[in-house]
A and B are shown apart, each in its own frame.
Chain A
């Protein structure tokens, strides 16, 4: 059973003599009680993990640092070698409903040759028949009958494409207000975002004013940790590629995005047209545009995004975004690896059900691979666990350093523009990674100063818009959480109430 598997695995990522040297005698000594071996191992490996960065004094033997370093190098090196040296980037497309997100991306995919001519022709014919000729490109990403029929994206559409220097995992988020929970699950897995706005008169304003999603989406992605943003000013052909209109939108949006916390240098604006395909993959030749715009096209801009630093060295974490049955044994889960790496044959722990299972196979972009690391959007085939116990929102983690599951935690929150004040006992919907769980605000602990973070008032009566506060949140069922200080990617969450986002927060303390 697993000795062979193990040794095979170690050979790949951990060629370190230390580990093998440590394991062989252990096994040779015969059947140690199973409980003792992980403890021993942990005792040995724990100090070794952070050893490289902070505390070399804790390492007892001189062999270790080299072993550790070698192992680390390996994953990083392999990661660089993979995909022909192209780093992976997770991109989410956001924006108000009907801004043309799906069409823009559908057209981009078509131009890149990811959709063959025949299929595209079929979509064109069918959409014409349905009386929605302009939706043909959106159909590339909107695949369910319901979505096509209504012409609205409902769930995140996922696909991949290549740019010159990167492999992009594309997530096409729905723009409709009711599907923001879906959009959040998509955005939670993204590194960078493309914000699509409608340039035509009245439409941009409708999306940007209080009822529109442009603002909410912008705030959401920023709170979920996205720092780089490309704004595609779409449907520019409808306003004849006017520079004034482009500038007007740029000023309005720029002001808001700055407020939301995006750095000016990390935001770029590109005039596009999703329907005619102008300025998507190649720089436009339309004279009315080129007369004033010489910047990059959308694809170039996406290519220019800087890939974020991945936490490959941290213990393995994967948030389950989807569970489904596939052919063969076991079932499949998909999600983005937030930290660490995984290999086929690894045993992992699923929290909150607190069940362990074995990873039988890993696929990335529909291709089977042997291992995957932080940042990859993978699908795992797992066995040894009942599919009923798996829910969307579970976290797969390292057996030795599991994530904690809790129902009560403290958090620092920033309240958005809310209509009703938040009191204790306020019912909210907690969106954390891919989970959405009903919760209540148990206690208002204190109000903090916005920038300095010092306590302004303890036990406030209520919280109103724009305030920064510490609150205690109670969920109905346990959720697996990490502290923000330990895992930046996993410590963030959003609170929603009656269809609008009321706060963003970071986990500061897990209570129970």
Chain B
């Protein structure tokens, strides 16, 4: 993402012009947008014209529109962002107040105006525009009969393909069906890799599995590559890396990203950092349960005592469309920072973020233990022993 223009007043109102350059920037933009903001971007509109004789014709015109945002829709598979809203700047094609849906496009700038630019969104812009934070990793997590081909970017984990093949068990006297099905499975995974991984962008391809599936697969892959004379695969051979994982399901990605061999090679991508932070939280919960809290009420209480050392928060919470709720989270983040704590904003698209989301989206590691906060959350009935 490129920041082209930034104009923010003392009262934090203002506008920013940005240019998305890659798919991931759409995700960042999705996290910036909120209902009530106004967005100005180039878009295509179908315009109906009525000639003097009364015949109706329609044509598609490219025009720049400014809409007041009403709904935001992000497609994580295609990385497309659609913003629906009412027009607030009339032009020759579109009347005031008319509905329009803008689909943001790569390499076309857009201007976003907000009434309040808080610290969280400003951080987000900074992060999105940081060119150093680019390390694309592809991973193939597999087990016998199941493979997930995923793309891990700093802010997103995208499931590109899921291959599922039923593999008959070995039976006495006949292994042919088993072997044939395995072959078919490897073939399907290989096709998925070729189709979905862009070897120009990806720095490293992690192949992970329990047992020997990964070794078997790699030997199959390169045997086939030689046979089919596939240049792409052979040239990129050094990029493949074998890692152990306990299963072929997507959440095993967490194990892979915390593997020391991988982290050293990836030079600390955000995904790996998040996994580490969540692990620290669980370790703390195990050893000193009074120093690890989760849930909004608990974390806020801990924060009042200025005890929060590391705050883990999912970016999903900031997409909350209710202004009051959202600002509650922003206040929490700001105050943790003011008190010298670190804030880690998890991407809800990563596996670790998914887990944090399930864990109320909010967790904190404390500086010192606070006992007896274990009363139930505000919404629960208090029947403690």
Q: Which residues of A contact B385 (CB under 8 A)?
A: 456-457
Are the CB atoms of A179 and B285 closer together than 8 Å? no
B359 — nearest CB in chain A belongs to which residue?
A425
Interface residues on A, range: 35 or more
Q: Which of A441-469 contact B (CB under 8 A)?
A: 442, 456-459, 461-462, 464
Determine the distance from Cα of A146 to Cα of B144 in the docked complex, in whole angstroms: 13
- Chain B residues 256 to 290 lying within 8 A of chain A, measured CB to CB, are 279, 282-283, 285-286, 289
Say whether A420 contacts B247, CB under 8 Å.
no
Cross-chain contact B356 with A438 (CB below 8 angstroms): no
- In chain A between 318 and 352, which residues have their CB closer than 8 angstroms to a CB of chain B? 321-325, 334
**Interface window among A7-15, A75-83, A152-160, A224-232:** A152-160
* Docked pose: A156 CA to B383 CA in angstroms: 48
Contacts of A421 in B (CB 8 A): 282, 285-286, 289
Interfacial chain B residues near A459, Cβ < 8 Å = 376-377, 380
CB of B285 within 8 A of CB of A159, answer no
Cross-chain contact B177 with A325 (CB below 8 angstroms): yes
A426 CB-CB contact with B under 8 Å: yes
Task: Type the 1/0 row for A122-165, where 1 means its CB is closer than 8 Å to any CB of B.
Answer: 00000000000000000000011111001000111111000000
Residues facing A in B327-385 (CB within 8 A) are 351, 354-360, 374, 376-377, 380, 383-385
Total A-B pairs, Cβ < 8 A? 116
On whether the beta carbons of A159 and B172 are closer than 8 Å, the reply is yes
Q: In this assembly, does A423 line the interface, its C-beta being within 8 Å of a C-beta of chain B? A: yes
Asked whether B282 lies within 8 Å of A499 as measured between CB atoms, the reply is no
A462 / chain B contacts, CB cutoff of 8 Å? 285, 289
Residues of B within 8 A of A146 (CB): 212, 216
Q: How far is the CA of A158 from the CA of B247 in the complex (A)?
A: 23
Given A144-B179, A423-B359, A459-B380, check contact A156 B249 (CB 8 Å): no
Interface flag for A424 (CB, 8 Å) = yes
**B15-23, B110-118, B150-158, B163-171: which lies at the A interface?**
B163-171
Does A414 touch B at the CB level, under 8 Å?
Answer: no
Judge whether B175 is part of the interface by a CB distance below 8 angstroms: yes
CB of B376 within 8 A of CB of A424, answer no
Is the CB–CB distance between B210 and A178 below 8 Å? yes
Given A144-B170, A462-B289, also A429-B374 (CB < 8 A): no
- With A143-B175, A427-B251 already in contact, the answer to whether A179 and B166 are too (CB < 8 A) is no
- Complex interface residues of chain A between 260 and 292 (CB less than 8 A to chain B): none
Residues in A with CB closer than 8 Å to B251 are 427, 438
Assembly CA distance A440 to B359 (angstroms): 11
Find chain B residues with CB under 8 A from A221 CB.
Answer: none
In the bound complex, what is the Cα–Cα distance between A459 and B382 (angstroms)?
10
In the complex, chain A residues whose CB is within 8 Å of the CB of B30: none
The residues of B that contact A442 with a CB separation of less than 8 Å are 358
Report whether A423 and B294 are in contact in the complex, using a CB–CB cutoff of 8 Å.
yes
With A and B bound together, what is the CA distance between A100 and B41 in angstroms? 69
Q: Are A427 and B355 in contact (CB under 8 A)?
A: yes
For the complex, is B250 an interface residue (Cβ under 8 Å from A)? yes
**Which of B210, B216, B355: most chain A CB closer than 10 A?**
B210
**Are A425 and B247 in contact, CB atoms less than 8 angstroms apart?**
no
Question: B43 near A: Cβ within 8 Å?
Answer: no
Nearest Cβ on chain B to A432's Cβ, whole angstroms: 15
A427 partner residues in chain B, CB cutoff 8 A: 251, 254, 351, 354-355, 358
**How far is A424 from B292 in the complex, measured between Cα atoms in Å?**
14
B170 and A429 form a contact (CB under 8 A): no
* Choice from A158, A321, A425, A436 contacting B355 with Cβ under 8 Å: A425
Q: Is the CB of B249 within 8 A of A499?
A: no
Contacting residues, chain B, for A391 (C-beta < 8 A)? 166
Inter-chain CA distance A436–B377, complex, in Å, is 33
Which residue on A lies nearest to B295, using beta carbons?
A461
Q: Does B187 contact A (CB under 8 A)?
A: no
A353 to chain B, nearest CB (A): 13
B255 on the A face (CB < 8 A): yes
**A420 near B282: Cβ-Cβ < 8 Å:** yes
Query: Is B355's CB under 8 angstroms from A426's CB?
Result: yes
A324 near B177: Cβ-Cβ < 8 Å: yes
Q: When A325-B177, A391-B166, A499-B246 are in contact, do A158 and B172 touch as well, CB less than 8 Å?
A: yes
Asked whether, in the complex, the Cβ of B211 is within 8 Å of the Cβ of A322, the reply is: no
- Is A499's CB under 8 angstroms from B210's CB? yes
Tell me which of A143, A178, A322, A423 contacts B285 (CB under 8 A). A423
B178 sits at the interface (CB 8 A)? yes
Give the number of chain B interface residues (Cβ < 8 Å): 47
Please provide the chain A residues from 462 to 482 with a CB less than 8 Å away from any CB of chain B in the complex.
Answer: 462, 464
**Who on chain B is nearest to A440 by CB?**
B358
- B168 partner, pick from A147, A176, A324, beta carbons under 8 A: A324
Give the Cβ gap from B29 to chain A, nearest Cβ, in Å.
27
Q: How far is the CA of A313 from the CA of B337 in the complex (A)?
A: 66
Indicate which residue in A147, A426, A438 contacts B249 across the interface (CB closer than 8 Å). Answer: A438
Question: B158 to chain A: closest CB distance in Å?
Answer: 18
**Chain A positions within 8 Å of B380 at CB level:** 458-459
- Is A181 in contact with chain B by the CB < 8 A criterion? yes
A458 touches B355 (CB 8 A): no
**Do B170 and A458 touch (CB < 8 A)?**
no
Task: Report yes or no: B246 in contact with A420, Cβ–Cβ below 8 A.
Answer: no
A438 close to B250 (CB less than 8 A): yes
A154 partner, pick from B166, B211, B244, B354, beta carbons under 8 A: B211
List the A side residues contacting B244 at CB < 8 Å: 178
Taking each of A324, A334, A442, which has the highest tally of chain B beta carbons within 10 Å of its own beta carbon? A324
Residue numbers in A under 8 Å from B377 (CB-CB):
459
The answer to whether B286 touches A155 (Cβ under 8 A) is no
Say yes or no: A156 contacts B169, CB within 8 Å.
Answer: yes
B166 engages A144 (CB within 8 Å):
no
| Measured CA separation A178–B243 after assembly (Å) | 13
A419 at the interface (CB under 8 A from B): yes
- Chain B residue numbers with a CB within 8 Å of A176 are 211
CB distance B172 to A143 under 8 Å? Answer: yes
Question: Is the beta-carbon distance between B357 and A425 smaller than 8 angstroms?
Answer: yes
Closest chain B CB from A135 CB (angstroms): 16
State the Cβ distance, A175 to closest chain B Cβ, in Å: 12
- Cα distance, A268 to B246, chains bound together (Å): 33
Q: Of residues A143, A419, A461, which shows the largest number of chain B Cβ atoms within 10 Å of its Cβ?
A: A461
| Known contacts A154-B211, A420-B286, A145 near B170 by CB under 8 Å | no
Which single residue of chain A is at the shortest CB-CB distance from B352?
Answer: A427
Query: Whole-angstrom distance between the alpha carbons of A387 and B167 in the complex?
Result: 12
Evaluate contact between A143 and B356: CB separation under 8 angstroms: no
Min Cβ gap B230→A in Å is: 24
A179 to B211, Cβ gap below 8 A? yes
- Assess whether B247 is in contact with A181, with CB atoms less than 8 Å apart: yes
Please tell me if A392 contacts chain B, counting CB pairs below 8 Å.
yes
* B residues less than 8 Å from A425 (CB atoms): 355-360
Contact (A179, B358) CB under 8 Å given A144-B179, A156-B169, A419-B286: no
**Which chain A positions have C-beta within 8 A of B250?**
438
A-B residue pairs, 5 tightest by C-beta:
A425-B358, A499-B246, A324-B168, A178-B210, A425-B359
Known: A178-B246, A427-B251, A459-B376. 12 other contacts (CB 8 A): A156-B169, A157-B172, A158-B172, A179-B211, A321-B169, A421-B285, A423-B294, A427-B254, A456-B385, A458-B376, A459-B380, A499-B247
What are 16 A-B contacts defined by CB distance under 8 Å?
Answer: A145-B179, A178-B211, A178-B246, A181-B247, A322-B171, A323-B168, A325-B168, A390-B166, A421-B282, A423-B282, A423-B294, A425-B357, A458-B380, A458-B383, A461-B285, A462-B289
